[in-house]
Copies of this chain bind each other. A is one copy, B any other.
């Protein structure tokens, strides 16, 4: 038969079993952490009507959309989880209770130019809190605090959440008389870290007609040093000249105070006035998250406050705060940079039972008992040589093997071998279970990410 070469599309991550186990552990940690904060898990279709998905229209993203016809329908694959959320909330408004808190971990699609570390299919892990008409500022502090908790639970430690407030920027633009150019100015200063202050000034003055003095003042302002305390202090000195600015400064101060109350240590967040975020729809606090030892990676988790989640679908005013982890890219980077915990058990089972008798019934019974005790068990049922059987446990990294022969069955004991140390002991069922449980607790003690 003519064979087709099996291959996976470029830009699509498909992991081997061991790294997939690590990815699963990360996703499970995200699900558990998000759930602790009272978020509903949500699941929306990957395909939407193009009319609905692209209601906002235009923009950079549209070229990247996977769009196609099926029958009479013009369909598109979702390119983020925010637009489907907007649709969901507008569509089910009457049946939801607000503030509506949801998380979603799902794949999204963007037909970007293929290159190393860029994915066309990738997971986003989003949380959003949506208010009906109003939403308290405390949410703008809680959302990044959840991200702090999530990353810490995964084992990441050398990261910092940087935050700013759009009102501070817009207010300052107004003070400088740049309100009409605010979109262009915002997008330009967002490039500061990438292209440097000189280039930003060139663009502001050359492309957008910002007076040189205003550009200088703006650049000095957004680069105000001193960290959170220093910047908050500096902001008070600008107060009284613009209402929006004053409101933004107050919000930043409140958010910083609450983040401390939420348990985010001072060295894990800072106000940074250069953070602008490209997207138009942010209106208040905005976030980025940097890996301190790999700033070149860019933000691993970003988001912010918006005033109008679903304006393309409904007249209802639905303000919210959301943040998104680009999970596939993060996982890729963690792997590349050696952050993934190689010591962690990635075997599909905790115990492999090797039956040494013709009749498999006793081995099956043992497997059932061990599973009832919560252990992940494989029963090796293939007709192979002993060496191959033990080699199977070895290759998969299964930490324990139990040999079950006539003697063991007759004596009601089980020969438990620790594959790492080679130690072997003959113990009754209870002893086998506690031995394996204790050993696993030690072997699985670490976190999936190791970040020193």
Contacts and interface: CB of A to CB of B under 8 A. Distances in A.
Interface in A100-125: 101-102, 107, 109, 111, 121
Interface in A1-60: 1, 3-9, 12-17, 20-21, 23-24, 35-49, 51-52, 55
A142 B379 contact: yes
A13 B42 CA distance: 12
Nearest to A346: B40
A47 B91 CA distance: 28
B17 A52 contact: no
Contacts of A71: 111
Given A258-B360, A381-B138, A66 B70 contact: yes
Q: How large is the interface on A (under 10, 10 to 19, 20 to 34, 35 or more residues)?
A: 35 or more
B36 A136 contact: no
Given A35-B376, A348-B38, A6 B52 contact: yes
Interface of A: 1, 3-9, 12-17, 20-21, 23-24, 35-49, 51-52, 55, 66, 68-71, 73, 75, 86-88, 90-92, 95-97, 99, 101-102, 107, 109, 111, 121, 131, 134-136, 138-139, 142, 258, 261-263, 310-315, 348-349, 352, 360-361, 364-365, 368, 371, 374-379, 381-383, 392, 395-396
15 contacts: A3-B315, A4-B55, A6-B52, A9-B49, A15-B43, A17-B96, A20-B41, A21-B40, A35-B348, A37-B377, A38-B349, A47-B121, A136-B383, A138-B360, A261-B365
